[in-house]
Structure 1
Amino acid sequence: MLFNSLEFLIFLPVVFILYWFVVHKKLRSQNFLILLASYVFYGWWDWRFLSLIIFSSTIDFLIGVFLSKTEKTSTRKLLLTSSILVNIGFLGFFKYYNFFLESFIDAFTFFGQSISAERLHIILPVGISFYTFQTLSYTIDVYKKKLEPTKDVVAFFAFVSFFPQLVAGPIERATNLLPQFYTQRKFEYNKAVDGLRQILWGLFKKIVIADNAAKFANIIFDSSADYSGSTLVLGAVFFAFQIYGDFSGYSDIAIGTSRLFGFNLMRNFAFPYFSRDIAEFWRRWHISLSTWFRDYLYIPLGGSRGGTWMKIRNTFIIFIVSGFWHGANWTFIVWGFLNALYFLPLMLLNKNRVNTDIVAKNRVFANVKEILQIFITFSLTTIAWVFFRAENITHAFVYLSEIFSASLFQMPEFFPVQVIFFIIVFVIIEWLQRDKEHALEFENTKMPRLVRFAFYYLLIAVIFLFGGQQQEFIYFQF
């Protein structure tokens, strides 16, 4: 079920009414309704996928119970290892089986040996990368004794399958989200209204920015050999705004929807395209995944505590694994490797924590230095996005080689003024609101109520009148 669909437009009010007006007096009933609604929401794509999420939830719930009953180190390690193997095993099979098979065949072919093997027609379950990491956070934190294992099976299953963030995040930590299922929720008007505003902004980002940018990004990338370097630059920029509007738009809708039901999810995007260096960008982009890898992979590997070689090794591991998490294609691995190269000089010079506050704080305009830093960071990020979007590595290098050619100085073959206009307006609004949690957060503002509501209705009108063709969210494939 897509957030930007008629089905969800019906589904959400029905669940909301049942939640606050029918089962609101009993916490367990609320949790059970969330669980049932989440399974309907997830099963809307393919009911067969439900068996995987139920199996994963059952395994990790039982392992949590067993961990609570033993203090023996070897047994606890065995239980944790079992959870990791089951979850990563499912993820590896459904997402990476054919990738490893093809890479294995290519390796033998390279050395002059010919082997044959049959690819499996595997359907990738929607959101498997997200809920797998969410359940892993539970078993790891229980193992480390950062979290008490739950005995409430309904609360745990609802935590794993919580429908607002189930298929594309944020990837919630058990320490943050699971305890919220233990506490009676009360309807808070201000929180719900702010949630609706965030949903509206998320829909605008997805339908008006991402879907419109996608149309031209797809045209240019799919026929890149036919266009000049200047047009390919437009294609790369359109994709940069497509993936940002698409993914952060989903996160906004997920966080806003959660607030309607009394839940607080972690922030997943913090205006990343206003970053002044790559380190700042990764503190602001897909925050839930970046911090997950930091806490559960980077720090256990030694983090930055070792010597220079260990820092370099761990940096490349974290970025390459992050790239591989996104998909079974060498383009994602190169994308991760390239971001590691971007990040490395900052880390080695101890400048990766220089820009920790918002740009141009307490000022309307950025200075020349900040503008240049933002432009360079955005340019480097957009170059990396070419690998993310390209069909294969060869396509990416050919695409970039044409950009850095004489045709870069030609007039673009086409110039979609309407899309560019909306992107500019979008950037201006986010810039003015960059110190807020989201662009429509108007708490403690001097803006008159009439002006605010006029702006909301204008956004709604723009969504209906200028929204692009409906498309699935990009991160559903991950």
Structure 2
Amino acid sequence: MFFNSLTFAIFLPIVFFLYWFVFNKTKSSQNLILILASYYFYSCWDWRFLFLLVFSTFLDYATGIQIEKTENASTRKFWFWLSVGINLGFLAIFKYYNFFASSFATLLSDFGLKSSPFLLDVVLPVGISFYTFHGLSYVIDIYYKRIKAEYNFVDYSLFVSYFPLLVAGPIERATHLLPQVKVRRVFNFEKAKEGVYQFTWGLVKKVVIADGCATYANAIFDHYPAMNSWSLILGAIYFAFQIYGDFSGYSDMALGMSKLFGIDLLRNFNYPYFSRDIAEFWRRWHISLSSWFRDYVYIPLGGSKGSKSKQVRNVFIIFVLSGFWHGANWTYLAWGFINALYFLPLLLLNKNRSNIEMVNLKWNLSSIKEIASIFYTFILACLAWIFFRANTITDAFAYIKRMFSNGNFASQYLANERYNYELLAFVIVFVIVEWNSRFSIEPISGRKSGLKLALAIAAIIALGTFSDYKEFIYFQF
């Protein structure tokens, strides 16, 4: 069930009505209806994997209590590693086993040794990377005595399985979400209105920008040997906006619909393509994942303390892990490694925290430098996205080589031609709207919000209706 589907358009109002008009008397009844809705939502993908979600929930709930109840260090460590081991074991089996088995077989064949690896014929459970990280952060925080264990199973289950964030985040923390689900929510019209605005803008990002760009990005990447330099440049740009519109659009829809239920989720994107360096980009892109790796891997490794060599090591570990989290493919590892290389000069020159606040141009000489930095960072991001999108690392290098060596910048016809340059105009308009809204969360809100909402809905109906690409990219992670 996709957020941009007719089925979900029926599902959400029903849950909203039951939540506020039938099960609104107590906190427990509110949480129960949201859990039932979440389990139904998840079972629409594949009901068999619902058992895996419930088992993972119970595992972390039970081990969290056991860790808190005992003061014996070895016993606490046993329960901690039991939870971590099983959680990561599920990820290893469903997401990474075939990758490692195939890669090992390929390595053996390079040495002239034949092997027939045993591969698992399994489907990747949707959202497993996200709800696994929810549970891991919870157990880790209890183990290090940052939080208390949650003894109410219903409340904890909602924290893990809350349907707006279940399949593609943001990756929530117990310190942020659990206190909200432990109290009865009261309907707030202003918050609900903000939620409608944010959900609608997320839908615009998805069906107007991301799905429109996907049509051309797919055509260009799938036939890149026949594309000229101009088409390949457009393909990289279109994919950059496809993945941004797709993922940040999902996050906006998740945050927006959650406000309809009186719950605030963590902000996951903060206008990353207006970043002035790659460090700022990563503070604004997939914020919940970046902060998760920072708090649970980077800082425990020593973070920015110690020698430069250890700092460099920590940075490469974080970025490679981030790439590997996205999928079992060498292209994702390469994407993470490339971003680490981008980050390295900033780290060595102690400039990785130079741009903390959102860019605010004053239209002077320094602003020209800021604009140039934004364009430069966007180009770097686009080049890295080529590796993320390509089927193999060889394809990514071949794509880049042809992009720089072909030298033909003429307009090129595509078999699925519909509105190529009209789409480019839409992307430019989208960038302008985002730029004017970069200090807010809901670009539709504010002055003339009714007109903005009407225009957004018109764009969704006019362009989203003809979209060829319905799925969200991050559902595969």
**TM-score, normalised by the number of residues in structure 2:** 0.97
Equivalent AA in structure 1 for residue 26 of structure 2: K
Q: Is the 8 A contact 1:227 1:413 kept in 2?
A: no
Match of 2:422 among 418, 421, 424: 418
Is 1:452 the counterpart of 2:440? The answer is: no
Identity across the alignment (%) = 55
Equivalent AA in structure 1 for residue 221 of structure 2: F
Q: Is the 8 A contact 1:364 1:432 kept in 2?
A: no
Is 1:353 the counterpart of 2:360? The answer is: no
2:8 corresponds to which residue?
8
Is 1:248 the counterpart of 2:245? The answer is: no
2:377 corresponds to which residue?
377
Residues 151-300 of structure 1: pairs in structure 2 closer than 5 A: 151-300=151-300
**Displacement of 1:405 after TM fit?**
0.8
Equivalent AA in structure 2 for residue 133 of structure 1: F
1:469 corresponds to which residue?
468
SS in 2 for 1:276: coil
**Displacement of 1:131 after TM fit?**
0.4
Alpha-carbon displacement from aligned partner over 1:263-293 (angstroms, at most 9, x marks no partner): 1111000000000000000000000000000
Equivalent AA in structure 2 for residue 456 of structure 1: L
Equivalent AA in structure 1 for residue 58 of structure 2: T
Residues 316-465 of structure 1: pairs in structure 2 closer than 5 A: 316-360=316-360, 367-413=367-413, 416-442=420-446, 447=447, 451-465=448-462
SS in 1 for 2:407: helix
1:20 corresponds to which residue?
20
Q: Is the 8 A contact 2:312 2:344 kept in 1?
A: yes
Q: Is the 8 A contact 1:359 1:366 kept in 2?
A: no
Question: 1: CA distance between counterparts of 2:90 and 2:99?
Answer: 15
**Displacement of 1:225 after TM fit?**
0.7
**Displacement of 1:11 after TM fit?**
0.6
**Displacement of 1:412 after TM fit?**
4.2
Residues 101-116 of structure 1: pairs in structure 2 closer than 5 A: 101-116=101-116
Q: Is the 8 A contact 2:194 2:442 kept in 1?
A: no
Q: Is the 8 A contact 1:278 1:343 kept in 2?
A: yes
Question: 1: CA distance between counterparts of 2:280 and 2:151?
Answer: 40
Q: Is the 8 A contact 1:280 1:356 kept in 2?
A: yes
2:31 corresponds to which residue?
31
In structure 2, stretches of 5+ residues that fail to align are none
**Displacement of 1:452 after TM fit?**
2.4
Equivalent AA in structure 2 for residue 434 of structure 1: R
Question: 1: CA distance between counterparts of 2:406 and 2:469?
Answer: 36
Q: Is the 8 A contact 2:198 2:441 kept in 1?
A: no
SS in 2 for 1:146: coil
**Displacement of 1:118 after TM fit?**
2.9
Alpha-carbon displacement from aligned partner over 1:351-399 (angstroms, at most 9, x marks no partner): 0111111112577998211111011000000000000000001110000
Question: 2: CA distance between counterparts of 1:395 and 1:117?
Answer: 25
Is 1:142 the counterpart of 2:142? The answer is: yes
**Displacement of 1:439 after TM fit?**
1.9
Alpha-carbon displacement from aligned partner over 1:164-209 (angstroms, at most 9, x marks no partner): 0100000001111112111111111111100100000000000000
C-alpha root-mean-square deviation of aligned residues, in Å? 1.5
SS in 2 for 1:367: helix
Question: 2: CA distance between counterparts of 1:193 and 1:406?
Answer: 50
In structure 1, stretches of 5+ residues that fail to align are none
Question: 2: CA distance between counterparts of 1:364 and 1:440?
Answer: 29
Q: Is the 8 A contact 1:164 1:254 kept in 2?
A: yes
Q: Is the 8 A contact 1:387 1:396 kept in 2?
A: yes
Question: 2: CA distance between counterparts of 1:83 and 1:145?
Answer: 16
**Displacement of 1:408 after TM fit?**
4.8
Q: Is the 8 A contact 1:171 1:289 kept in 2?
A: yes
Question: 2: CA distance between counterparts of 1:378 and 1:61?
Answer: 42
Which range moves more in the overlay, 375-384 or 433-442?
A: 433-442
Equivalent AA in structure 2 for residue 201 of structure 1: W
Alpha-carbon displacement from aligned partner over 1:429-472 (angstroms, at most 9, x marks no partner): 00001011232242xxxx3xxx3212211110111111222411
Question: 1: CA distance between counterparts of 2:116 and 2:58?
Answer: 37
SS in 2 for 1:407: coil
Question: 2: CA distance between counterparts of 1:143 and 1:265?
Answer: 24
Question: 2: CA distance between counterparts of 1:363 and 1:12?
Answer: 45
SS in 2 for 1:234: helix
Q: Is the 8 A contact 1:278 1:377 kept in 2?
A: yes
Q: Is the 8 A contact 1:335 1:388 kept in 2?
A: yes
Number of residue pairs the alignment of both structures matches = 471
**Displacement of 1:68 after TM fit?**
2.1
Which range moves more in the overlay, 366-375 or 1-10?
A: 366-375
1:41 corresponds to which residue?
41
**Displacement of 1:121 after TM fit?**
1.3
Question: 1: CA distance between counterparts of 2:469 and 2:152?
Answer: 39
Give 4+ residue runs of structure 1 displaced > 6 Å after superposition: 362-366
SS in 2 for 1:371: helix
